[in-house]
Amino acid sequence: MKTSYKNDYLTTTELRKRAKSKIPKFIFQYLDGGCNDNINLAKNIKELGDIELKPIYITEHKEADLKTELFGHTYDAPFGIAPMGLQGFMWPNAPEILAKSAGEYNIPFLISTLTTCTIERMNELAGGRAWFQLYHPKEPELRDKLLKKVEGAGCPVLVLIVDMPTKGYRPWDVRNGFDMPPEISIRNILQMMAKPEWVLKTIYHGRPTFAIMKSFKDAADGHFYFDHKLDEKKIAEIRNKWKGKLVIKGVSSEEDTETAIKLGADGIIVSNHGGRQLDVGQSSIATLGPIVKKYEGKIKIMMDSGMRTGPDIARSLASGAEFTFLGRNFMYAVAALGTHGGEHMIRSLKTQLKQVMEQISCVQVSDLKNHLVKRD
Ligand SMILES: Cc1cc2nc3c(=O)[nH]c(=O)nc-3n(C[C@H](O)[C@H](O)[C@H](O)COP(=O)(O)O)c2cc1C
């Protein structure tokens, strides 16, 4: 497609470094951090990196095909853009840029309840295939209105997040007054002033708001509306009301997988929220193995957390994930490269993944599993 492949930003490390130089410090820390001592954030990346794939060289070599069928639609790649709140605050116009790239490249875009653009606009940009990630509203009437709105917008998949019964302990965010809405302290203002491109673009695109929640109440103060402590009853009620596909995100145990199946969910995203909620937990890739072993074929098993490269996506798929999602990567890319960030990241990940598949002799994404090096 359009953009030239920028030679300077071929790795996520380079994009992250450039994003850091362009986003106000307190906002970059919100994007980049995990929780507590960042142990699980590091484990997500390290333990994925430990996974090895075995090549078969003496064989018929064919071009790899990244197309992947999921919930009745064939996507052009086996990865999508994970939901992220406050996107337009991290980089002006970020949700619009990412939704548009996802639409153009035919990959799923997940809308966070707490993002800064309306459902209708993002779904239109994403080609009418955006999934909606629901933060569970406290009041049943608000929940029902929100579900109607999502249905009306035409989103085919509802993603219910279950891994936030508490607020993750993120010392830098507390220190920075980064809350819903963020505190405007002198220090934060100075940090914003130090990033003129961010300031100018924010002025141009207008102050970001919680665009989705804003249409329900006057003051869009995130936490007030939500009840993040989910149980079977609350999920069953949603299953009853939502006729489309239902995915439970934030699953980190066999127990929750079992419950998701029992309640009639169509899929799970094995995820530890990018290491932002439970520092004493397992990495997402460590959780994935036993879940795949026990529940493969009983529910769609997807995964996020810790993937930074095409080889990481290959590792996750080889370990049994049927689809993958990445969060921070896409925000780093948009902050680093603006309107080209989304498509740059998608193209880069596709190029890297295709190279791995053709190097080890995989034609289909599903072949990756046959190349996993197993250790006892
Ligand atoms: C800055 C930021 C904001 C996030 N906001 C949300 C959100 O609003 N809803 C949600 O379900 N997950 C949210 N997540 C978690 C992501 O959807 C995803 O699980 C995580 O980023 C995957 O890990 P990765 O960043 O290592 O790829 C957020 C993650 C980050 C980094």
Q: How confident is the model at residue 375 (pLDDT cuts 50, 70, 90)?
A: confident
Rounded Cα distance between 64 and 274, Å, is: 29
| Per-residue pLDDT, 219 | 45
| Per-residue pLDDT, 224 | 59
Rounded Cα distance between 355 and 323, Å, is: 18
pLDDT tens, position by position, 256-288: 999 999 999 999 999 999 999 999 999 999 999
Instruction: Check whether 183 has a pLDDT greater than 90.
Output: no
Identify the top-confidence range among 176-190, 216-230, 314-328.
314-328
Q: Counting atoms of ligand 1 from 1, which one is nearest the CA of 271?
A: 19
Query: How many Å lie between the centroid of ligand 1 and the Cα of residue 76?
Result: 22
Q: Counting atoms of ligand 1 from 1, which one is nearest the CA of 84?
A: 5
Q: Counting atoms of ligand 1 from 1, which one is nearest the CA of 115?
A: 8
Angle between helices 310-318 and 341-360 (to 10 degrees): 50
| Per-residue pLDDT, 72 | 97
| Per-residue pLDDT, 6 | 61
Query: How many Å lie between the centroid of ligand 1 and the Cα of residue 31?
Result: 9
pLDDT tens, position by position, 110-137: 999 999 999 999 999 999 999 999 999 9
Query: How many Å lie between the centroid of ligand 1 and the Cα of residue 111?
Result: 11
| Residue 273 annotated in active site | yes
Query: What does pTM read for this prediction?
Result: 0.97
| Per-residue pLDDT, 106 | 98
Rounded Cα distance between 250 and 303, Å, is: 9
Rounded average pLDDT over 150-171: 97
Catalytic residue among 61, 205, 273, 344: 273
Instruction: Check whether 231 has a pLDDT greater than 90.
Output: yes
Rounded average pLDDT over 134-153: 95
Query: How many Å lie between the centroid of ligand 1 and the Cα of residue 27?
Result: 14
For the chain, the three-class secondary structure string (H helix, E strand, C coil) is CCCCCCCCCCCHHHHHHHHHHHCCHHHHHHHHCCCCCCHHHHHHHHHHHCCCECCCCCCCCCCCECCEEECCEEECCCEEECCCCCHHHHCCCHHHHHHHHHHHHCCCEEEECCCCCCHHHHHHHCCCCCEEEECCECCHHHHHHHHHHHHHHCCCEEEEECCCCCCCCCHHHHHHCCCCCCCCCHHHHHHHHCCHHHHHHHHHHCCCCCHHHHCCCCCCCHHHHECCCCCHHHHHHHHHHCCCEEEEEEECCHHHHHHHHHCCCCEEEECCHHHCCCCCCCCHHHHHHHHHHHHECCEEEEEECCCCCHHHHHHHHHCCCCEEEECHHHHHHHHHHHHHHHHHHHHHHHHHHHHHHHHHCCCEHHHHHHHECCCC
Q: What structural domains does the chain harbor?
A: 12-371 (3.20.20.70)
Query: How many Å lie between the centroid of ligand 1 and the Cα of residue 3?
Result: 27
Q: How confident is the model at residue 2 (pLDDT cuts 50, 70, 90)?
A: very low
> Within 13 Å, how many C-alpha atoms sit on residue 208's CB side?
24
Type of residue found at 244: G
Task: Tokens 């969060």: give the residue.
Answer: 327
Between residues 55 and 178, which one has the greater pLDDT? 55
Ligand 1 neighbours, Cβ below 6 Å, are 30-31, 44, 82-85, 112, 114, 133, 161, 249, 271, 273-274, 304-307, 326-328
Angle between helices 25-32 and 328-337 (to 10 degrees): 150
Q: How confident is the model at residue 182 (pLDDT cuts 50, 70, 90)?
A: confident
| Per-residue pLDDT, 199 | 97
pLDDT tens, position by position, 293-327: 999 999 999 999 999 999 999 999 999 999 999 99
Pull the structure tokens for residue 48. Answer: 């994925």
| Per-residue pLDDT, 5 | 53
Rounded average pLDDT over 168-192: 90
- How many Å separate Cα 242 from the centre of its chain? 22
Instruction: Check whether 206 has a pLDDT greater than 90.
Output: yes
Rounded Cα distance between 371 and 369, Å, is: 5
Between residues 214 and 281, which one has the greater pLDDT? 281
Task: Tokens 């239109």: give the residue.
Answer: 124
Instruction: Check whether 151 has a pLDDT greater than 80.
Output: yes
Low-confidence winner among 32-36, 206-210, 223-227 (lowest mean pLDDT): 223-227
Rounded average pLDDT over 76-102: 97
Percent of the chain with pLDDT over 70: 95
Mutate which of 26, 38, 276 for ligand 1 pocket (most atoms within 8 A of beta carbon): 276
Average predicted confidence (pLDDT) for the chain? 95
